[in-house]
Structure 1
C-alpha cells in the first residue's frame, strides 16, 4: 500500500524553479498586458474572448460530455471498488466536513453572484433555440420562459461541472495515494505516460498554475464586485474601481492569513463556517419566500433537466449563431476547466481513503443536488417575483448583475440584515477560494508536495489578488471572463489526456477475471 506522498521531505527540497518562475512570468505578462493601455483593455479582452469562443466552443462542449461519460463508466465498472490509498486506507475527514470543504472550493462565490442574476437574465433574454419558437424568442412573462431559464441554470451548474472536477481529482488522488507521487498534473502525466519529456511536464504544470490563478482571480473579481454593490447599498460606499480594489486587498490579506495557517487550522475551519452562514441565508429565503412554490420547483426543475439532458448537453447554437452560448455556456465550461487544477488537487488532497465509486458519487451527485437546491431557492424565488409579484428584477439585473442579489433581498423583510449576511457569506467564500487556490498553486510549484512552505503559499495568495484587481480595473467583468476562457481552452486537451491515462491505470490494477 502506497503511503501519502510528501512525508519526510521539506518543501524546499521539492521546489521546482522552472514551474514557479515560468508561471509567475506568465501571470506577470498578463498583468502588464492589462495595464499597458487600460483605456483599450476592455476592447482587446472582448476581441480575444470572441475569437476563442467562436472557434473552439465545440471543443469544450465535447470535452465536458466525454468527462461525464467516463465518470459514470468508472463508477459502475469494477474500477469503482478500488480504494484511494489501498485496501486498508481510512478517510481523513468525515462526510459532512468533506462535503463542506469540496463544495466551498468548487463553487463558492459563483452561487452568490449568479444565483439570482442568471435565472432572471435567461428569463428576460432567452436564447433562440429549441427551448422556444425557432423564429422568435418567446415573449416575456410566461411560465415557459421561467422553466427554460431554470433548465439552462441546471445545465451550467450541474453534472458536467462536477464531472470536470471529479475526473482530474480522481486521477491526481489515485497516483498520489496508490502510486506514491506528488499531487500535480505533471506528476500524473509522467506516471500515466512515462515517455513524456520532462520539459513538457513542467510546461503543463505552468499551464495548470496559470489556469488556476486566472480561474480563481475571475471568481474573486465577481465577489469583489458583489461585495462592493452590497456595501454601496448598505453604507453608501461608492461603486468604483478603487473601492473594488480595496475590497480585493482586504480579502486577499484575510486569505493570506488563512492560507498561512494551512489546511486544517485555516481552510477547514473557514469552509465549515461559510457553509453554516450560506445555509442560514438559504433557509431565510426558503422560509420567508414562496416555500411551496420552491419545493414544487425543485422537483420540476430536476425533471425538466433530466428530460432534456441530451439536447442541453450537446447544443452548440449551430443554426442560430447569435452569440448567446459564447457568453454563457462556453464561458461556464471554460471557467470550470480553468478551475479544475485548483479544485482537482484540493479535492484529491482531502479524499484519501475513499473508494473510486464513493469518490465519484460524492463529488458528482451531492454537490450537484445542493447546487440545484440553492439555484432553485434563489432563482425560482426571483422568478416568482417576476411572474406573480411586483416585478422589476429583470430591469435591475440587466442594469447591474452584481446588484442582483441585493435587489432581490429588498423584496424580503429584514432586508438590511439579510443583505449584510449575504456580504459576509460572499466574503467567506471569497477567502476560502483564494486561500485554497494559493495552497494548490504552491503545491504544484513544489512538485505536488502536500505541505508547501509558508512563503510559496503567501506568494500565490498575493498573486491571485493582484491579478484579480488588475483585470477588474482594466477590463471589468469581461476581462475576468476572458482570462478564464483563454486558460481553460488549452487545459481541456490536458483533461482529455488525463482521462485516458486514468482509465488505463485503473484497469491495470484490476485482477484478471476467471
Structure 2
C-alpha cells in the first residue's frame, strides 16, 4: 500500500462542502431545538448523562489508561527516533513557544475555572476520607493531579501524533480520516467512511470547545459580579459570549503566527505573574510542601486511580452521588471532546520533532505546569479553609465558578488580582476558541494548513452559538452531558487511530515519503 496520493492532495485542498453542510446540519439541529424547547433538551441531556455515567465508565477509564501506556511505550521504543516530518526537517517553533501554545490551548479555561473550586469540592465531600480534614485535603490535591495530569495529555497525544505522522511524514491531508489510511486505504478515506470520520471530528470539536466556552463565560460573569457587582445573569453571559466570539474569530482569521502564538505567549506571562504573586504573599511553605507531597501521592497511586470505578459503591455512598461518573469519567469524556482540535493543533505546531521528544514534551511540561497551578491556587484555598478564616467552601457551594475569586479575596490587592484573573480567563478563552476555529477550518478544507479566513469566521460564529445554547439548556450539567454524547464515538475513532499507527510503524519506514 503506497502513500503516494498527489491527486488526492490536490482535490483535498478545496473546501469540502459535504463535511461543511453535514456538520452545520448537526450543529444547527441542536441550536434550533434548544431555542424551541430548552427544557425538553435539558431533560434529554440529563437522561443521556445518567446512561453514560452508569454504564460506560469502564470504557472511558480503560481507554484513557491504554492511551497513556501507548504514548510512553512508543517513546521508549525504537520508533521514538522517528521524526514527525521529513528526516531533515527542524521544529518550526522554539520549545518555549511550543510549550506555551500546548498549555494555553489544551488546559487554559478549565484550570482557571477549577483551580480553587475542584480541590475545595473534594475537600468538602471527600471520596476517600472524612470531610474537611487534613487527610481530605491531601486526597483532594492527589485527585486534581490525577484529573489534570498524564491522562488528558495522552488523549491529546494520540490524535496529535497520528495526525503529525501521516500528514508531515507520509504526505497525507491534515484530516482525522487520513490517520486511517493503513486500515481502509485511499478509497476508504476519500469515500463515505472517511467523510463520516471527518464530520464526527468537526462536530466533536465544535461541541468540545463550546463546553469550555460555557464554563469560561460562567466564570467571567461570576467574577464581574463578585468584584464589580454586575448582574450574574444568562443575558450577561450571552453578551460576553458574543464579545468573546468576535475577538477569537478575529484572532483565528489572522493565523497562528500573528494571532495564536502571540496570545498564547501573553497568557503564559499573565498566568506566571498570578502564580508568583500567590506564591510570595500566600502560604509559601504550605504550597511547596503541597506540590511535592501531592506529586508523590499521585505517582504512588497512579495505577489504582487509573482503573478505579467504585465497583462496590463505597465512594458513592460516602459522597451521596455518583462521584466517579461525575468526576473522573466525565473528565476523560471532556478531554476526548477536546482531543480532535487540541490534537490537530498540537500536530500543526509539532512538525519536525521526533516521536520521543513529542511524547516527553506533552507528558512532562504541561502536566507539570498544571500541578504547579493547582498547588498554588488550590493549595492556597485549602490553607485558608484549614488554617484561616474559611468562606471559600460556602462560596463554591453557592456558585462553583466563584472559587478562585473567593480565594483571592483573602489576599492583598484582591481587586487587581481578580481583574488579572478575568483577563487571564478571557485570553485563555480566546486561545482555545481560536485554535478550535482554526482546526475546524482545516478539517472542512481538506486539511489546508492555512484555511480561508471566511471559513474560520463561519465556524467561529457557530462555536459561539453552540456555547450560548449550552448555557440556555442547563449550564454546567448541559456541558457535562454534551461531553459524553460526542466523546463516545470519537473514543472509538481514537482506538482505531492507535491500531492504524501501530500498523504503519510495524510495516517500517519502507513506505515512500511525499
- Give the TM-score, by structure 2 length: 0.94
Q: What are the within-5 Å matches in structure 2 for residues 3-402 of structure 1? A: 13-127=13-127, 131-132=128-129, 138=130, 140-194=131-185, 196=188, 198-320=191-313, 321=316, 322-402=321-401
State the SS of the aligned residue for 2:402.
Answer: helix
Query: Which runs of no fewer than 5 residues in structure 2 stay unpaired?
Result: none
- Are the equivalent residues in 1 in contact too, given 2:100–2:265 (CA < 8 A)? yes
State the SS of the aligned residue for 2:449.
Answer: coil
- Are the equivalent residues in 2 in contact too, given 1:84–1:355 (CA < 8 A)? yes
Distance 1:507 1:27 in 2: 39
Distance 1:496 1:85 in 2: 23
- Are the equivalent residues in 1 in contact too, given 2:220–2:422 (CA < 8 A)? yes
Q: Paired residue for 2:480?
A: 481
State the SS of the aligned residue for 2:56.
Answer: helix
Q: What are the within-5 Å matches in structure 2 for residues 496-507 of structure 1? A: 496-507=495-506
- Are the equivalent residues in 1 in contact too, given 2:16–2:445 (CA < 8 A)? yes
- Are the equivalent residues in 1 in contact too, given 2:123–2:133 (CA < 8 A)? no
State the SS of the aligned residue for 1:318.
Answer: coil
Could you say what the CA RMSD is over the residues aligned between the two structures, in angstroms? Answer: 1.9
CA deviations 1:393-416 (Å, max 9, x no partner) are 111111101111111100000000
Q: Paired residue for 1:448?
A: 447
Q: Paired residue for 1:135?
A: none
Distance 2:309 2:7 in 1: 43
Distance 1:284 1:450 in 2: 39
Distance 2:193 2:32 in 1: 26
TM-aligned CA deviation for residue 205 of structure 1: 0.7
Distance 1:6 1:66 in 2: 36
Taking a change above 3 Å as real, the CA distance of residues 6 and 64 of structure 1, as seen in their structure-2 partners, is farther
- Are the equivalent residues in 2 in contact too, given 1:193–1:501 (CA < 8 A)? no
Taking a change above 3 Å as real, the CA distance of residues 7 and 301 of structure 1, as seen in their structure-2 partners, is farther
CA deviations 1:84-139 (Å, max 9, x no partner) are 11221100000000000111110110000001000000010112xxx34xxxxx1x
- Are the equivalent residues in 2 in contact too, given 1:42–1:476 (CA < 8 A)? no
Distance 1:234 1:115 in 2: 18
- Are the equivalent residues in 1 in contact too, given 2:45–2:481 (CA < 8 A)? yes
- Are the equivalent residues in 2 in contact too, given 1:79–1:510 (CA < 8 A)? no
Query: Which runs of no fewer than 5 residues in structure 1 stay unpaired?
Result: 133-137
- Are the equivalent residues in 2 in contact too, given 1:6–1:449 (CA < 8 A)? no
State the SS of the aligned residue for 1:87.
Answer: coil
State the SS of the aligned residue for 1:193.
Answer: helix
TM-aligned CA deviation for residue 10 of structure 1: 9.7
- Are the equivalent residues in 2 in contact too, given 1:187–1:447 (CA < 8 A)? no
Distance 1:184 1:504 in 2: 18
